[in-house]
């Protein structure tokens, strides 16, 4: 074996090892990739609860296409509306139901785990603005015989 | 004549209010729910939780229904959550809501005024990713001091809902049948 050939083989082996390490690194990173931090991501739309409800009431498919992303990282909204009720869910997260008077439905806003602990008590009737990611829209459910509220989660109070 | 008219109006009003009252009592609503699914294979355990579903229980007929926002399922690993939502798996942007419609077959034995845990059978249809299949599964209804909590645990076969894996990592890491747990606390 000539020394030139040896050198080429050595370089090829090194490149292969480097490639494997990078591949494994990328795979490891992908597997452990953190969730999107909703609160530090730019808001896509700012609107009122009534505007969101009306958009869904007018054209559910168009609203879904506008707001829901194929990979689940759907649009981040800042939504303003009146607090109808406040409760804690089975995961100990704060849930605010925002619904403006006269509207057919509202939005269930589930707060992030940290925000659930840090958010001060909110009164019924108070007007608030929250930021969160939309998960589903408002629609009339024939099986439940009622309008089902939209869902926003990973939320925090903006004001 | 005048009094008769007044009486008629009074009567129709009381019927109206009575029917509203009955309607309000008949259908219980829940928004405090927990739906969890769990898949186990030798390679990996995968769990996902959803606390955002809405449901109803008709306490005269035993009819139950749930509406499940699919994008509200949370996974520990963001990559799995991404896969779950994608077109080739649950296609949640096109099918954002899963539905369960059914009936508690033996609702007659549940006494909502008596504390206790009642074993029941629920049957009906589930629609996930636009595919509808029938089901018949056991569950419990727990009554404690007016509070009503429904509970059920069953398996679903992913292939029946058009979720199939032809090979690679998903095929080895996701079970063919996943365990689904439903807990719902109804408002009275």
- Say yes or no for a CB contact (<8 Å) between B32 and A70: no
Domain match, A13 and A71 both: no
For A99, the domain range is: 38-157
Residue numbers of chain A with a pLDDT score lower than 70 = 1
Domain match, A25 and A89 both: no
Answer whether residue B38 shows pLDDT above 80: yes
Min Cα distance A17 → chain B (Å) is 23
Min Cα distance A153 → chain B (Å) is 8
Q: What is the pTM of this model?
A: 0.86
Which of A77, A70, A19, A22 is closest to A47 using CA atoms? A77
Between CA B124 and CA B152 the distance in angstroms is: 14
Residue B12 lies in a domain: no
Nearest Cβ partner for A108 among B52, B56, B84: B52
- Say yes or no for a CB contact (<8 Å) between B72 and A135: yes
Q: How many other β-carbons are positioned within 10 Å of the β-carbon of residue A28?
A: 10
Which of A97, A109, A110, A103 is closest to A57 using CA atoms? A103
Average pLDDT over residues B80-101: 94
Bridging pattern class, strands A45-48 and A76-88: parallel
Residue A139 pLDDT: 94
Residue B41 lies in a domain: yes
Residue B16 lies in a domain: no
Task: Give the CATH number of the domain where residue A47 resides.
Answer: 2.40.50.140
| Total domains present in chain A | 2
Domain match, A73 and A138 both: yes
- Say yes or no for a CB contact (<8 Å) between A69 and B183: no
Domain match, A18 and A83 both: no
Cα–Cα distances in angstroms (integers) from residue A108 to residues A65, A88, A89, in the given order: 20, 12, 11
When comparing pLDDT for B125 and A29, which is higher?
B125
Domain match, A90 and A105 both: yes
Q: Which of A143, A145, A152 to mutate to test the interface with B (most CBs of B within 10 A)?
A: A143
Cβ neighbours of residue B125 under 8 Å, at least 6 residues apart? B99, B100, B101, B102, B132, B133, B134, B135
Domain match, A137 and A100 both: yes
Residue A29 pLDDT: 83
Residue B7 lies in a domain: no
Domain match, A19 and A82 both: no
Between CA B37 and CA B153 the distance in angstroms is: 9
Report ipTM (2 d.p.). 0.86
Task: Give the CATH number of the domain where residue B175 resides.
Answer: 2.40.128.110
Domain match, A139 and A106 both: yes
Place of tokens 């990282």: A73
| Total domains present in chain B | 1
Nearest Cβ partner for A68 among B71, B79, B101: B71
Domain match, A114 and A81 both: yes
Residue B1 lies in a domain: no
Residue B23 pLDDT: 47
User: In 3-state terms, what secondary structure has residue B88?
Assistant: coil
Domain match, A62 and A132 both: yes
Residue B2 lies in a domain: no
Between CA B55 and CA B64 the distance in angstroms is: 7
Domain match, A27 and A95 both: no
Residue A9 pLDDT: 93
DSSP line for A109-144 = EEEPHHHHHHPPP--TT-EEEEEEEEEE--EEETTT
Contacts of B87 in chain A (CB under 8 A): 70
């Amino acid at each position: 074996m000539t020394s030139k050939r040896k050198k080429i083989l050595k370089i090829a082996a090194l490149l292969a090892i480097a490639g494997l390490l990078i591949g494994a690194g990328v795979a490891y990173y992908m597997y452990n990739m953190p969730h999107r931090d909703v609160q530090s991501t730019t808001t896509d739309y700012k609107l009122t609860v009534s505007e969101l409800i009306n958009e869904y009431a007018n054209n559910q498919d168009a609203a879904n296409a506008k707001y829901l992303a194929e990979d689940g990282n759907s649009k981040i909204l800042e939504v303003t509306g009146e607090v109808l009720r406040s409760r804690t869910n089975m995961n100990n997260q704060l849930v605010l139901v925002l619904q403006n008077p006269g509207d057919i439905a509202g939005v269930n806003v589930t707060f992030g785990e940290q925000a659930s602990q840090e958010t001060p008590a909110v009164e019924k009737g108070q007007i608030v603005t929250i930021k969160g990611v939309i998960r589903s829209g408002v629609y009339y459910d024939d099986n439940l015989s009622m309008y089902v509220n939209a869902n926003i989660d990973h939320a925090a109070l903006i004001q | 004549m005048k009094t008769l008219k007044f009486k008629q109006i009074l009567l129709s009003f009381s019927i109206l209010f009575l029917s509203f009252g009955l309607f309000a009592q008949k259908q219980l609503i829940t928004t405090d729910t927990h739906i969890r699914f769990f898949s186990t294979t030798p390679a990996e355990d995968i769990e996902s939780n959803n606390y955002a579903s809405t449901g109803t229980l008709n306490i005269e007929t035993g009819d139950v229904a749930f509406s499940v926002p699919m994008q509200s399922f949370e996974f520990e690993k963001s990559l799995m959550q991404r896969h779950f939502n994608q077109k080739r798996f649950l296609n949640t942007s096109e099918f954002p809501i899963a539905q369960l419609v059914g009936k508690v077959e033996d609702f007659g034995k549940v006494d909502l005024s008596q504390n206790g845990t009642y074993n029941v059978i629920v049957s009906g249809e589930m629609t996930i990713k636009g595919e509808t299949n029938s089901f018949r599964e056991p569950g419990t209804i727990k009554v404690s001091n007016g509070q009503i909590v429904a509970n059920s645990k069953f398996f679903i076969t992913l292939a029946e809902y058009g979720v199939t894996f032809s090979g690679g990592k998903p095929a080895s890491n996701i079970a063919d049948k996943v365990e689904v747990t439903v807990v719902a606390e109804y408002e009275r």
